[in-house]
Structure 1
Amino acid sequence: MSKLRCHISISLDGFVAGPNQSEENPLGEGGERLHDWVVPLATWREAHGQQGGEVNESARIVEEAKENIGAAVMGRNMFGPVGGGAWGDEQWTGWWGDNPPYHYPVFVVTHHPRESVEMEGGTTYHFVTDGIESALEQAKEAAGGKDVMLWGGGHIAQQCLAAGLLDELELHVVPVLLGDGARLFPSRGEAEVQLEQVRAVEAPGVTHLKYRVVK
């Protein structure tokens, strides 16, 4: 059965982006450090049209994240631009250039309707205005029995956790303290989330913690 999976980098104090996010600094102050572990990897560089790179324990985790994915869901802030609002001239097509690294349908949850955008390499963005449940339903249908990846950001991941929609969560815990920014987990009293640890993998600059969401 198709599962909703989420892989996300997080600071030791629980933030998936730093404060003061902007179009110039989409991950907020200090947020880029959350991805210092993945950018040098050969598997990451290959997905972004680059050559070379490192191979370590994180490479296996990243490769595994790509397996059996048929579609994805992401929030408007993840797709951008930061701040949301109406689409204007509709020239914005995400942070990833003409050939995004997804290569499958991506369903963007937003309040503002827009026609689907087909990109190079098999990525098509669909814009969903009737909530996360609808986005997930459409993504599962498009995935054709494969899993759906929830790519973030923090707000939509928090919503999916609170709504009991998420099946697997892999946290890439980076030893930095951001102090403020976008949190992943719901505040106390908003939702009761139970996680069962599946594994823990140490790697340079990060610890990968995989959980099954208990329902």
Structure 2
Amino acid sequence: MSKVKVAGFSVSLDGFGAGSDQSLENPLGRRGEELHEWIFNTRFFKDMIGEGGGVDGVDQDFAHAAMDGFGAHILGRNMFAPSRGDWTDDAWKGWWGDNPPYHVPTFVLTHYPRDPIVMEGGTTFYFVNGAMAALEQARAAAGNLDVKVGGGVSTVRQYLTAGVIDEMHLAISPVVLGQGEALFTGLDLPALGYRVTSSTASDLATHVTFSR
């Protein structure tokens, strides 16, 4: 049976999943890139951006698992575009160029309608109003494969609160941001049925998996 998962989601030691003041110039917010240092030198990431090399090991294993075996993705609007309100720039097709890393149907949460965008490599972006509506469409598109909730923070929180996330892998980076988008504020994970099922450390992150 397919599952709904969060995978490869980076968080600071003080619980922030993105820095403050996200913008076109800083899509991850101020100092947000520091949360993702664990993935940048993996063989998986180097391959994804068209470079050779990279290293194997714990981080490589988790990076690969974070994108492998999914039949659909769900993204919040922040993960797709820096704009707000009506879609006024039809030329904007995401942060990733012509061939995004998803390669499966990808559902973007938004209150504003937009026609689907077909990209290279098998990615099609669909724009959906409502988290549960997007999940229903993603499950149908994924078939027997899993659905990944890719973020950002508010999107992950919506699905955690709804109790529909089956598994969650957080890469906890040894970074203190002090401010940004808080993942855990107001959430009682044990009360929602989640428990830690594994914890594996590398030099650049502690990879913690939760299940319910």
TM band (smaller chain) = over 0.9
How do 1:172-191 residues align onto structure 2 when only pairs under 5 Å count? 172-187=171-186
Q: Give 1:198's aligned residue.
A: 197
Deviation sequence 1:138-185 (CA, Å, 0-9, x none): 001001111001110000001111111111110100011111111112
CA distance in 2, matches of 1:36, 1:154: 18
Q: Give 1:85's aligned residue.
A: 85
CA distance in 2, matches of 1:50, 1:120: 19
Q: Give 1:21's aligned residue.
A: 22
- Which one-letter code corresponds to 1:72 in the other structure? H
- Which one-letter code corresponds to 2:97 in the other structure? G
Deviation sequence 1:110-129 (CA, Å, 0-9, x none): 01100000001111000001
Question: Which SS does the other structure have where 1:204 is aligned?
Answer: coil
CA distance in 1, matches of 2:62, 2:152: 19
**Following TM superposition, by how much is the alpha carbon of 1:78 offset from its aligned partner in structure 2, in angstroms?**
1.0
Deviation sequence 1:57-78 (CA, Å, 0-9, x none): 1111122223321011010011
Are the equivalent residues in 2 in contact too, given 1:3–1:167 (CA < 8 A)?
A: yes
How do 1:1-215 residues align onto structure 2 when only pairs under 5 Å count? 1-7=1-7, 8-81=9-82, 83-129=83-129, 131-187=130-186, 192-212=191-211, 214=212
Inter-CA distance 168–188: structure 2 relative to 1 (3 Å threshold): closer
CA distance in 2, matches of 1:186, 1:114: 32
CA distance in 2, matches of 1:45, 1:79: 21
Return the TM-score normalized by structure 2: 0.94
CA distance in 1, matches of 2:91, 2:65: 33
Are the equivalent residues in 1 in contact too, given 2:169–2:207 (CA < 8 A)?
A: yes
**Aligned Cα RMSD in Å?**
1.7
Deviation sequence 1:86-114 (CA, Å, 0-9, x none): 11031111111111111000000101100
CA distance in 1, matches of 2:6, 2:111: 22
CA distance in 2, matches of 1:24, 1:193: 36
**Following TM superposition, by how much is the alpha carbon of 1:45 offset from its aligned partner in structure 2, in angstroms?**
1.3
Are the equivalent residues in 1 in contact too, given 2:73–2:148 (CA < 8 A)?
A: yes
Are the equivalent residues in 2 in contact too, given 1:48–1:101 (CA < 8 A)?
A: no
Are the equivalent residues in 2 in contact too, given 1:2–1:145 (CA < 8 A)?
A: yes
Where structure 1 has 5 or more consecutive residues not aligned to the other structure, the ranges are: none
**Following TM superposition, by how much is the alpha carbon of 1:52 offset from its aligned partner in structure 2, in angstroms?**
1.1
Are the equivalent residues in 2 in contact too, given 1:174–1:206 (CA < 8 A)?
A: yes
**Following TM superposition, by how much is the alpha carbon of 1:195 offset from its aligned partner in structure 2, in angstroms?**
1.8
CA distance in 2, matches of 1:93, 1:51: 26
Question: Which SS does the other structure have where 2:112 is aligned?
Answer: coil
Are the equivalent residues in 1 in contact too, given 2:161–2:187 (CA < 8 A)?
A: no
Question: Which SS does the other structure have where 2:208 is aligned?
Answer: strand
Where structure 2 has 5 or more consecutive residues not aligned to the other structure, the ranges are: none
Are the equivalent residues in 2 in contact too, given 1:162–1:192 (CA < 8 A)?
A: no
Percent of residue pairs identical: 44
Question: Which SS does the other structure have where 1:142 is aligned?
Answer: helix
Return the TM-score normalized by structure 1: 0.93
Are the equivalent residues in 2 in contact too, given 1:158–1:186 (CA < 8 A)?
A: no
CA distance in 2, matches of 1:209, 1:132: 25
